[in-house]
Amino acid sequence: MSTFCPACGSDSIETTKKKHMIPIVYGNPAVFDEVLEKCLVCEESGDFTGANDELIDKAIEVAKKQSVIDMLDALSQNGIKMAYMERALELPTRTIARWKGGEVSAATLALLRIIRTFPWILEVADAHFDLSVANYRLVVEAGHVILKQPHPDQIQMHFANEKVKFSAHITFKDYPSFPQSLMEPKIERVLGTGVDK
Ligand SMILES: [Zn+2]
């Protein structure tokens, strides 16, 4: 099937391909060869056959499906069993097997990205989204994040909303060489009303 120049109708067309990559969340990039046609008579250039849109869509779909498998593998390597995930999320059994087999919706992808980012959300789900469990997990996980900082013995916290702004600086020292009061954050009131230490 010949391709014709849309400007002059010539079939003297030079086709080149250029590799492109589109980033995919928690996955390898979608890779595709963009097709670029150039008329050798009038020098008009572009995607004469309109093939690129389909190529891009297909490459993204393939890469997203692969990212689902990658995310599930990562969760599995962190000791999260698929059966546990299905139970916690009240998904029908074999749902995850179907995801692995390529039956992936936009909602599947969104859900897995959230779980991949915050795997402990599964424990909250398993507790039927009990708010006290949710808040407890949030604080525990915040502690993990803080302790992974380069200088976990020196913690700076900042909080601001439209009414109050405060900063806290906490220094940890090895027990028992310091009085307990050193552990209490020093809170500076910057502006606003209502909160006194
Ligand atoms: Zn032309």
Q: Are strands 154-160 and 165-171 parallel, antiparallel or unpaired?
A: antiparallel
| pLDDT for 37 | 94
Give the integer Cα–Cα distance in Å for 99 and 107.
Answer: 11
* Distance from the alpha carbon of residue 48 to the mean position of ligand 1, in angstroms: 11
Query: In the chain, what are the domain boundaries?
Result: 150-197
* Distance from the alpha carbon of residue 1 to the mean position of ligand 1, in angstroms: 17
Mean pLDDT by 10 residues, the chain (197 residues): 88 93 95 94 93 93 96 94 95 95 96 96 95 92 79 71 77 56 55 50
* Distance from the alpha carbon of residue 6 to the mean position of ligand 1, in angstroms: 7
Alpha-carbon torsion (101, 102, 105, 108), positive or negative: positive
* Distance from the alpha carbon of residue 39 to the mean position of ligand 1, in angstroms: 5
Give the integer Cα–Cα distance in Å for 94 and 106.
Answer: 18
| pLDDT for 158 | 76
* Distance from the alpha carbon of residue 13 to the mean position of ligand 1, in angstroms: 8
E strands, the chain, are 13-22, 30-39, 45-46, 154-160, 165-171, 186-191
| pLDDT for 145 | 82
* Distance from the alpha carbon of residue 38 to the mean position of ligand 1, in angstroms: 8
176 preceded by a cis bond (ω within 30 of 0): yes
Long-range contacts of 35-39, Cβ-Cβ distance < 8 Å, separation of 24 or more: 37/3, 37/5, 37/13, 38/13, 38/14, 39/5, 39/7, 39/8, 39/10, 39/12, 39/13
Give the integer Cα–Cα distance in Å for 99 and 104.
Answer: 5
| pLDDT for 197 | 42
* Distance from the alpha carbon of residue 31 to the mean position of ligand 1, in angstroms: 29
* Distance from the alpha carbon of residue 4 to the mean position of ligand 1, in angstroms: 8
At 175, phi and psi to the nearest 5?
-65, 140
Give the integer Cα–Cα distance in Å for 82 and 67.
Answer: 16
Residues 158, 170: contact at Cβ < 8 Å?
no
| pLDDT for 3 | 87
* Distance from the alpha carbon of residue 174 to the mean position of ligand 1, in angstroms: 78
* Distance from the alpha carbon of residue 15 to the mean position of ligand 1, in angstroms: 13
* Distance from the alpha carbon of residue 46 to the mean position of ligand 1, in angstroms: 11
Query: At 104, is the secondary structure helix, strand, or coil?
Result: coil
Query: At 76, is the secondary structure helix, strand, or coil?
Result: helix
* Distance from the alpha carbon of residue 57 to the mean position of ligand 1, in angstroms: 28
* Distance from the alpha carbon of residue 12 to the mean position of ligand 1, in angstroms: 8
Report the alpha-carbon angle 136-128-146, nearest 5.
25
* Distance from the alpha carbon of residue 64 to the mean position of ligand 1, in angstroms: 38
Amino acid at 118: F
Q: Global pTM?
A: 0.71
